[in-house]
């Protein structure tokens, strides 16, 4: 087979008589070279800039080559876009980013000042000209523009400064999202820099990340409890048979703790302090050996700083209403489950994932109220993120569960 240079020489009559060939002959030569190069290159391994000068010369890259080239080189990202925390998973590397879903903006020009951990440090400590808040509410986008900027920041941070290719992205969404809310996540992902965006419901991803064989003809029940929602689903043959999504999870528990301390001790505390109390001494059921914690806040009567000591069983009473709502969601899905799948769930139990599922003795409370054994998954807070990574590696298998949007 002749080399590209030999074909060029035979096509244009050997070497040019002048040192610089004519513009016409140069263009023709480049056109022929491009045809040879594009068709003989495996998976269209061409530099991104070559499509630009090809367009200037009136050349066109075959669609097949464009598609194969982009899919070959495009990185892949899985994003667990949570109300309180965003995790980014890169296949082959694992979770590369774990930051709060918080953004700080200037109140006047709505300029974004900080994102992630830096922004969370500002909550409750900002002057009047700066607002630090969460652009996600109850698992869905509450502020589209700010969420888009947050996604762009996380995508760039995960890929690094030297990446020049747009990634394929899978983003998790709650089980109860509407089609409009789902489209908002897809569009925000594309505008943030994704080449293709897929959204998959969190119970599916949590089950995949927990190692549940969801494609088997058996029933598996997952309860994913995050910051904004509890998503409960029964999964069989790769799909959701029965599910519900209730906007009562970690954030509601934090608020209940803050309200309890306010009413009981006339002490005002912030969201971060309430979350710390939940983590340090919180429990789903009363305990004999209580944990205690010193809490600092502002006295509502005198307006001065004050300190109180809080025990575990006080927190149990404070969050009882929110826990009842979560148990009610689990019972509702069990009541909708077909009998054969219900028998499978009794055998396999309920798998619990998400950050709030780590509340002390929560699986025990679920067992007491439902009669079904509940188990905390390994690495429960990271199951959804791990599920996105596995789904990216087997996208053809999981496309039936995904909503897709391509550029």
* CATH code of residue 164: 3.30.420.40
pLDDT at 81 over 80: yes
Same domain? For 264 and 347 the reply is no
Q: In this predicted structure, what is the pLDDT of residue 405?
A: 54
- pLDDT band at 342, cuts 50/70/90? very high
Domain end call among 73, 89, 111: 73
Of 142, 158, 145, 169, nearest to 228 (Cα)? 142
Q: In this predicted structure, what is the pLDDT of residue 151?
A: 93
Same domain? For 195 and 243 the reply is no
Longest C-alpha distance within the chain, in Å? Answer: 98
Q: In this predicted structure, what is the pLDDT of residue 110?
A: 77
Same domain? For 22 and 135 the reply is no
CA 95-238-390 angle, to 5 degrees, is 20
Same domain? For 66 and 24 the reply is yes
Give mean pLDDT, residues 313-336.
Answer: 96
Domain end call among 73, 101, 121: 73
More confident residue, 374 or 54: 374
Tell me the CB-side half-sphere exposure of residue 47, using CA atoms within 13 A: 5
Q: Both tokens of residue 318? A: 């404070």
Same domain? For 270 and 392 the reply is no
Of 400, 388, 383, nearest to 170 (Cα)? 388
pLDDT at 7 over 50: no
The tally of domains found in the chain comes to 4
Same domain? For 267 and 373 the reply is no
Q: In this predicted structure, what is the pLDDT of residue 324?
A: 97
**What is the chain's mean pLDDT, rounded?**
83
Same domain? For 61 and 94 the reply is no
109 Cβ contact partners less than 8 Å away, ≥ 6 residues apart: none
pLDDT at 86 over 90: yes
Same domain? For 188 and 53 the reply is no
Share of the chain above pLDDT 90, in %: 60
pLDDT at 5 over 90: no
User: Which of 101-115, 118-132, 343-357: highest mean pLDDT?
Assistant: 343-357
pLDDT at 2 over 70: no
Q: For the segment 224-273, what is each residue's pLDDT rounded down to a tens digit?
A: 999 999 999 999 998 999 999 999 999 999 999 999 999 999 999 998 89
Q: In this predicted structure, what is the pLDDT of residue 73?
A: 63
pTM, entire model: 0.78
Q: Both tokens of residue 326? A: 């979560």
- Is the distance from CB of 214 to CB of 390 less than 8 angstroms? no
More confident residue, 402 or 90: 90
Same domain? For 290 and 342 the reply is no
pLDDT at 395 over 80: no
Query: What is the spatial distance between Cα 297 and Cα 263, in angstroms, rounded to a whole number?
Result: 13
Q: In this predicted structure, what is the pLDDT of residue 304?
A: 95
Share of the chain above pLDDT 70, in %: 79
Q: For the segment 165-197, what is each residue's pLDDT rounded down to a tens digit?
A: 889 999 999 988 888 989 999 999 999 999 999
Which residues constitute the domain of residue 284?
250-320
More confident residue, 16 or 318: 318
Residue 285: which CATH number? 3.90.640.10
Domain end call among 39, 73, 107: 73
Q: In this predicted structure, what is the pLDDT of residue 109?
A: 67
What DSSP designation does 336 have? H
Q: In this predicted structure, what is the pLDDT of residue 359?
A: 97
Q: In this predicted structure, what is the pLDDT of residue 399?
A: 62
Give mean pLDDT, residues 83-106.
Answer: 92
Q: In this predicted structure, what is the pLDDT of residue 404?
A: 52
Give mean pLDDT, residues 300-313.
Answer: 95
Same domain? For 232 and 327 the reply is yes
Same domain? For 200 and 62 the reply is no
Q: For the segment 10-47, what is each residue's pLDDT rounded down to a tens digit?
A: 444 444 444 444 545 555 544 444 444 443 333 333 33
| Proportion of the chain in helix, strand, coil states, percent, rounded to 5 | 45, 25, 30
Q: In this predicted structure, what is the pLDDT of residue 396?
A: 74
Same domain? For 104 and 15 the reply is no
């Amino acid at each position: 087979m002749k080399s590209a240079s030999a074909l060029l020489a035979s096509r244009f009559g050997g070497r040019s008589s002048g040192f610089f060939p004519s513009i016409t002959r140069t263009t023709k030569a480049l056109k022929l070279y491009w045809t040879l190069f594009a068709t003989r290159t495996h998976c269209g391994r061409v530099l991104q800039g070559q499509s630009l000068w090809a367009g200037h010369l009136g050349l066109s890259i075959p669609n097949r080559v464009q598609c194969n080239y982009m899919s070959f080189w495009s990185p892949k990202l899985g994003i667990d876009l949570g109300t309180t925390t965003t995790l980014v998973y890169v296949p082959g590397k694992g979770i590369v980013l774990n930051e709060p879903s918080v953004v700080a903006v200037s109140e006047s020009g709505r300029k974004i000042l900080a994102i992630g951990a830096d922004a969370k440090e500002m909550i409750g400590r900002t002057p009047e000209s700066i607002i630090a808040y969460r652009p996600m509410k109850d698992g869905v986008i509450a502020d589209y523009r700010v969420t888009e900027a947050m996604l762009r920041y996380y995508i760039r941070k995960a890929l690094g400064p030297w990446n020049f290719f747009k990634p394929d992205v899978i983003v998790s969404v709650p089980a109860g999202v509407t089609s409009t809310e789902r489209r908002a996540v897809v569009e925000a992902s594309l505008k943030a820099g994704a080449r293709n965006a897929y959204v998959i419901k969190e119970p599916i991803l949590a089950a995949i990340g927990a190692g549940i064989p969801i494609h088997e003809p058996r029933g598996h029940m997952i309860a994913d409890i995050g910051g904004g929602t509890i998503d409960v689903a029964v999964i069989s043959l790769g799909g959701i048979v029965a599910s519900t999504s209730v906007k009562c999870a970690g954030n509601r528990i934090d608020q209940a703790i803050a309200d309890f301390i306010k009413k009981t001790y006339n002490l005002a505390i912030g969201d971060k302090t309430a979350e710390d109390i939940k983590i340090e001494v919180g429990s789903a059921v009363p305990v004999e050996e209580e944990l205690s914690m010193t809490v600092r806040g502002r006295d509502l009567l005198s307006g001065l700083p004050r300190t109180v000591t809080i025990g575990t069983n006080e927190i149990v009473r404070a969050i009882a209403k929110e826990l009842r709502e979560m148990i009610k969601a689990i019972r509702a899905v069990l009541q909708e489950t077909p009998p054969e799948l219900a028998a499978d769930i009794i055998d396999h139990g309920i798998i619990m994932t998400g950050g709030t599922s780590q509340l002390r003795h929560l699986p025990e409370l679920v067992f007491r109220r439902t009669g079904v054994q509940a188990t905390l998954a390994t690495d429960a807070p990271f199951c959804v993120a791990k599920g996105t990574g596995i789904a990216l590696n087997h996208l053809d298998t999981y496309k039936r569960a995904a909503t897709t949007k391509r550029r």
